[in-house]
Structure 1
């Protein structure tokens, strides 16, 4: 397995578009920006501010939340069947689908930008909600798992062909993809960050999309327990309205007001 991984990494490194991104990912793992809190302090802060999204969703739209839960069950079942035949781990995504489906429909979002596709759990949730509402477009940024053979074929494998009309997928890494996406959009209603979990990776993406965010839009950041970037951002920028929710094993930070559209 180790020899196979090395061979796959070398094959991707020979791609002139991929090699600089791979180097930067390695560098960020070795030398990353430091946050205001240690990992232990950050987790304690997160736990002290964590809310129950299901309870909030039932207040905001009980019928819509029921639809979202049913969507999540169906999506997870389909994902299990699809991924059963793939010998590689493509990362997790189960558990958050009902939340993403709910907020997309509830906020009546027209433009959604996400980073981090992997198997496509989140993409499927966004695109399914878009199909139901009959409006909206999803722009996705990803970078192939370079340890795997022919990794491009696995990106968004859970997304059904019937959903792809409203989807634009870019696979050269956030630093190349986001400028291309931002050139195409006037305003972002939902920005979902789930790619490079380093502090500096988050900082780059947030800085990139800031000027294009709808003032009533939502920023959703996955795995905020990995470092204190989310904590630091809301403190430094004095963000007035934000939430923390837990889905399965992950903590998700949300910036924006869910109670107003």
Structure 2
């Protein structure tokens, strides 16, 4: 939801910046893998099939949120408006410098799920400006409990790219947040330790089939019994369909021409308890 993939206006790529970033500890293997996967992605027919499937399953997010819990949905939408207003100066300053990290796509959903599930531990991959991060952290603050672990890798086309990660996350929310920035494969080794169980997952990083499948395999044994799994941009490939159709229950929501998938036993429980 938070990261603009190939659509944001970035400054012209500087070879010198890329070279400088490539010699930073741990950067080059991740950068090389990202470039290789992008060059070999070849979505084509699979993307068309995934988009058609998502469109056929999609429902209105606002209507669903109202059914599940009207009061909490209003709180969720109010939060989204408030964050957009408070982040506007930062966003405008970055855009004036040619840096567009994406907008607050569908963060009401994450806020609502966090408020309902009251997760002790949440995991997100893909932070960018931090819209989704802010939603989960704000809902955790309202709950009075929970910790968010985030995995990201900086935009290596930018100088000093770490400074942009989570730039819209309010300072008052950061105490319940641990951010790691060495790429999913290295970060998850530090987050998903033996015995760790995750109640809420938001996947918004590597949008290739390989990246999604790796994450599903790596996280499977760490999902709590009542977890919810949220995946963004499911129209890019059929991975979410393949995963969701093995689950007893799932939802697909359309948001600004893209699609968000949600599944996990906690989803049905939240709907049954709250009327969705």
Q: Please identify, of 23-32 and 64-73, the stretch whose mean Cα deviation from structure 2 is larger.
A: 23-32
CA distance 1:33–1:199, change in 2 (3 Å): farther
Q: Summarize the Cα distance change of 1:100–1:227 in structure 2 as closer, same or farther, 3 Å threshold.
A: same
The alignment partner of 1:84 has SS state of helix
Asked if structure 2 preserves the Cα contact closer than 8 Å seen for 1:179 and 1:208, the reply is no
**Gaps (5+ residues) in structure 1?**
none
Q: Structure 1 segments of 4 or more deviating over 4 A? A: 32-35
Say whether residues 1:85 and 2:90 are aligned partners: no
2:251 aligns with 243
Query: CA offset at residue 154 of structure 1?
Result: 0.7
**Alignment partner for residue 120 of structure 1, among 127, 130, 138?**
130
Q: Offset of 1:38 from its aligned partner? A: 2.1
CA separation in 1, counterparts of 2:43 and 2:168? Answer: 35
Q: 2:82 aligns with which of 53, 69, 74?
A: 74
What is the distance in 1 between the residues matched to 2:72 and 2:132? 18
Counterpart CA distance in 1 for 2:157 and 2:268 is 42
* Residue 230 in structure 1 maps to residue 216 in structure 2: no
Does 1:41 find its partner at 2:49? yes
- From 18, 21, 30, the counterpart of 2:30: 21
Aligned partner of residue 192 in structure 2, secondary structure? helix
Q: What TM-score do the two structures reach when normalised by structure 1?
A: 0.93
The 8 Å contact of residues 93 and 122 in structure 1, kept in 2 or not, is answered as no
Alignment match, 1:129 = 139
Unaligned runs of 5+ in 2: 1-10, 271-276
Cα distance change, pair 33–255 in 1 and its aligned pair in 2 (3 A): farther
Cα distance in 2, alignment partners of residues 256 and 192 from structure 1: 12
Name the count of aligned residue pairs: 257
* Alignment partner, residue 6 of structure 2: none
Counterpart residue number, 1:202: 212
Q: Determine which structure has greater relative contact order: mean sequence separation of CA pairs < 8 Å that are 6+ residues apart, divided by chain length.
A: 2
Tell me by how many angstroms 1:108 deviates: 1.4
Does structure 1 residue 218 correspond to structure 2 residue 222?
A: no
TM-score, normalization: structure 2?
0.88
| Residues in 2 aligned to 1:89 and 1:184: alpha-carbon distance in whole angstroms | 38
In 2: Cα distance, 1:134 partner to 1:55 partner: 27
Are the counterparts in 1 of residues 249 and 268 from structure 2 also a CA contact under 8 Å? no
Of 146-155 and 225-234, deviating more is 225-234
1:51 aligns with 2:59: yes
Give me the whole-angstrom Cα distance separating, in 2, the residues matched to 1:240 and 1:112.
Answer: 22
1:164 has 2:164 as partner = no
| 1:186 to partner: Cα distance | 2.0
C-alpha distance 88-208 of structure 1, shift in aligned 2 (>3 A):
farther
Q: CA deviation at 1:33?
A: 8.6
Q: Could you tell me how far 1:96 is from its partner in structure 2?
A: 1.1
